[in-house]
Amino acid sequence: MTTIIQSTKPAMGAIWRNGLLAAGVAAVGNTILYVIGSATGNMPAIMTPMGQPLTLFPVLLMSIVPLLLATLAYAILTRLTATRANLIFRLVAALVFIGFLFGPVQLPGAPLGMIILLECMHVVAAGSILYFLTRS
């Protein structure tokens, strides 16, 4: 007896819908964290390595654009691999997440509260993209 295993690839529309949903959830979550940090004095006007102060606009930009790029990477990955796209994506996302954890610590003059909030923002973005995309 032969068993045929069919591999179904997620629909491109479902991938992008979930990617946009993940970006939206990350943007809302990180906006809430930014507002809480600003209200408690934990988001001072510290210059980033790009020479700009950390305001809500860069927080939103860095909450949305990388998640859309991750969605593109996931869409390509699901088309290139017959199986295990979710596993590969989770491993790569975990490595990228670990790499980004060092950024807030390296901000010159950043208080501990700001570093903790920025690390939480990374968790929100990574958790959002992993949760929504792997369910496409």
| Token pair in block for residue 88 | 């590969």
Buried/exposed 59-68: b ≥16 CB within 10 Å, e otherwise:
bbebbbebbe
Judge whether 17 and 25 are in contact, CB under 8 Å.
no
> Using one digit for the tens of pLDDT, what is the confidence trace for 67-112?
999 999 999 999 998 778 889 999 999 999 999 888 888 877 778 8
Residue 119: exposure state from Cβ atoms within 10 A (0-12, 13-18, ≥19): middle
Q: Structure pTM?
A: 0.83
Q: Three-class SS of residue 82?
A: coil
Query: Any alpha helices (H) in 46-111, and if so which ranges?
Result: 56-80, 85-100, 102-105
For residues 10 and 19, give the distance between their C-alpha atoms in angstroms, rounded to a whole number: 13
Q: What are the beta bridge partners of residue 47?
A: 53
> Using one digit for the tens of pLDDT, what is the confidence trace for 22-42?
999 999 999 999 999 889 888
> Using one digit for the tens of pLDDT, what is the confidence trace for 120-134?
999 999 999 999 998
